[in-house]
Structure 1
Amino acid sequence: MKHTTLLKSTLAAAALLFSGIDASAQALPAEVEGTATAITANLDGSVTMTVMGMTVNVPTGTPAASPSATLTLAQLADPAPLPNRTQAGFTGGTAIITGTVAANGVVTAEDVFVEPAENVMLGIVTANNAGALSINSVPIVMLNDPRMPAKPVQDVNGIAIIPASIPVGTGASAEGYFANGVFNAFLVEAEQGTPVISTPQVTITRALGRERTPNNRRGDEVEVRGSCTTTHAPTAITQSIIVYRIDGATQTLLGTGTATVDPALPGVANFVFRVTTPPSNDPVLGSCPTTVRVVNTSVGANNASATSAVEVR
């Protein structure tokens, strides 16, 4: 994908040259991924970054994010070290930037993503001291910095669980960065654990969409995967799930599905919902949903619901 973007940029420049237009006078698409060696806040609220020796201007209003948070530009340039790191802020980490590049080689960012490192750990819980976990004998520290906050510890279905309830020997994974002898995690998943909330829950683990045109002749493809707890109905084999598309304040039924109990994970039922939307001339309903909501309508589920953005392709 990235190579395709860069190739298109090169071809665009070549096309301009061959057409007799001075490509050096044009701002061409750019994509940069590499180590950020400097991140500096400017008086006007913008930020200047140095990435692999390149100068990157980040204008005010440019979207910026870490793996677990949307960042203001002040947070992007905040020099306070992230937990257990010695480098200033995100300096020394990886920056992924899309934008444009001028004739002088200076990149102007249109979107910025930063992270200290892309470290992933997969294995088993080797210690649990009142919720302080170790995976593969490496201590896990849950991040509490607003620039990269940790999500609640969860099971593989996305249901928040009590860390102290996770048995030693349970399969687990963590995402974050390794620094100062500990793994600093923004996400930890474990195969076993007691839910934080005892009331019924529903989660969406993935929502995908495929835009198909023309809208008045072809519907769009939607797939929603998720899970729900079944402690409210311990003998039930299935749960009834309703799926809606959300467009602003409007909720439109997409269809119904069934969650089936997972024998390997007591108290959990999983569902996969697939639908092709009806063709439509409507400017909203004729396009692929960007947000979906699922509701468990089974007896005792209290209409537990979850909402998620859709990854549209």
Structure 2
Amino acid sequence: MGIGQVASAQAAPPIPTEIEGPIEDWDNVNRILRVAGIDVLVSGRTTIVSPTADRRTARDGLVLGFNGWFKGPFLPGRSQRGFIGGTAIAIGTWDPTGGPLGTGIMVADDVFTEPAENVVLGVITSNLCSTPNCDGETDFIRGSNGPVMLPIDDRRMPANDIRVDSGFALDLTSADLVGVPYGMEGYYGDRNVATPDGANEKALHYFILDLTGPLDAFLANKDMHEVAVERANCRVGDELAIRGAVHSPLEPDGTPSDTVGSAKGVIQANFVLPNGNSVTRFSTDIVPDVAPGPSATSTFQLQTNLPNCPTSVEVLWQPDIGSTEPFATTTTDVDVRL
């Protein structure tokens, strides 16, 4: 066999493919998802996620079937089953002989799905909260004099707990939130739902609802030191950037009760790089929040150059460098970007 014959017999490298568009249909027999008129083959190796859930590890730990995910029960406030009519981002490769007709098809490695991408930044104009997460039977929150905002109660895309933007958990029981700025991510329903405040209307269904702080009086763990990470981003070969907040103990009414103060100490970050090396970095960039009165909350930043990125990081709020008794600790995933 000549050199030319060897070269022609070698398999061509896979051709990468990607599509973002509306989800038109799901063929459960052939496992084909139609996105913007293009057929996408889904297999057991395909990772399928929404903004807050993975098909393999949905909220209750049970694996959802493909049909249950794509074309199952109606998501709250929607008139089409599952994610039909929503948006998908599929990433994979081209199989030139695949598909029902053997004429070629895109094979998905990863599929991201959501009903829509609706984002609202506004101000809360009315609310009633009887539970810590404001999700009781009669609880509601309205923003900017618009429709009611409801948490998504579906294992395929469950709502996160409401938090202050610094990342701290809140206890909103009996809270008056009128005038508080907020950010919401989710979707605007296309059919009316009965709302807790007695209306019957289309609603904003959220998976994220963050309130802008400081909201010291509503902190769930106000009687203790606490550290939270708002975001941890890392770009491969460049920089790890961590932003978060700390708060010292407060009285029940939200006034500071700790002489240490939240702007004292150092932030310590511990993480392990892909090569197994353990790394520790410190930051003293802790700045008190500006509030109408004394605030027990401060924000911090930590930045460091790295050749590679960790997938998670442990963050400690320490009295000083070398301390073995931190005020508070937390662990968070790192958003790694190439």
CA deviation map 1:262-312 (0-9, x unaligned): 1238222111111235xxxxxxxx633232110112399643323222424
CA deviation map 1:152-207 (0-9, x unaligned): 10111121213342520111111000113100000001124412233332222222
Q: In the alignment, which of 150, 153, 156 is matched to residue 162 of structure 2? A: 153
SS in structure 1 of the partner of residue 112 of structure 2 = strand
CA deviation map 1:50-103 (0-9, x unaligned): 111111111112111101111236253351111111211001000000111234
Q: Report the counterpart of residue 260 of structure 1 in structure 2.
A: 287
Shift of 1:115: 0.2
Q: Report the counterpart of residue 109 of structure 1 in structure 2.
A: 108
Q: Report the counterpart of residue 272 of structure 2 in structure 1.
A: 246
Q: Report the counterpart of residue 99 of structure 2 in structure 1.
A: none
Distance 1:99 1:126, change over 3 A: same
Task: Say yes or no: does 1:222 pair with 2:240.
Answer: yes
Distance 1:228 1:185, change over 3 A: same
Distance 1:52 1:267, change over 3 A: same
SS in structure 2 of the partner of residue 77 of structure 1 = helix
TM-score, normalisation: structure 1: 0.78
Structure 1: state its 5+ residue gaps.
Answer: 1-19, 213-219, 278-285
Q: How far apart in 1 are the matches of 2:236 and 2:42? A: 31
Task: Say yes or no: does 1:97 pair with 2:90.
Answer: yes
TM-score, normalisation: structure 2: 0.73
Count, aligned residues: 274
Shift of 1:255: 1.5
Structure 2: state its 5+ residue gaps.
Answer: 1-6, 57-63, 97-102, 135-139, 192-201, 251-257
Q: How far apart in 2 are the matches of 1:189 and 1:83? A: 20
8 Å contact from structure 2 (residues 234, 334) kept in 1: no
More displaced, 196-205 or 144-153?
196-205
Query: Identical aligned pairs, as a percentage?
Result: 27
8 Å contact from structure 2 (residues 226, 247) kept in 1: yes
Q: How far apart in 1 are the matches of 2:181 and 2:34? A: 40
CA deviation map 1:212-248 (0-9, x unaligned): 3xxxxxxx53221111122363662334211111369
8 Å contact from structure 1 (residues 234, 267) kept in 2: no
Q: In the alignment, which of 169, 178, 184 is matched to residue 179 of structure 2? A: 169
Distance 1:90 1:21, change over 3 A: farther
Over aligned residues, Cα RMSD in angstroms? 2.8
Please list every run of at least 4 consecutive aligned residues from structure 1 whose deviation after the TM superposition is greater than 6 angstroms.
none
Q: Report the counterpart of residue 301 of structure 2 in structure 1.
A: 272
8 Å contact from structure 2 (residues 273, 308) kept in 1: no
Distance 1:247 1:210, change over 3 A: closer
Q: Report the counterpart of residue 135 of structure 1 in structure 2.
A: 143
Q: Report the counterpart of residue 122 of structure 1 in structure 2.
A: 121
Task: Say yes or no: does 1:87 pair with 2:80.
Answer: yes
SS in structure 1 of the partner of residue 54 of structure 2 = strand
Distance 1:200 1:246, change over 3 A: farther
More displaced, 222-231 or 82-91?
222-231
Q: How far apart in 2 are the matches of 1:252 and 1:228? A: 24
Distance 1:107 1:242, change over 3 A: same
Q: In the alignment, which of 276, 290, 293 is matched to residue 311 of structure 2? A: 290
| Structure 1 or 2: more strand by fraction | 1
Distance 1:166 1:191, change over 3 A: farther
Q: Report the counterpart of residue 26 of structure 2 in structure 1.
A: 39
Q: Report the counterpart of residue 209 of structure 1 in structure 2.
A: 234
Q: How far apart in 2 are the matches of 1:310 and 1:121? A: 23
Q: How far apart in 2 are the matches of 1:21 and 1:139? A: 63
Distance 1:160 1:78, change over 3 A: farther
Q: Report the counterpart of residue 216 of structure 1 in structure 2.
A: none
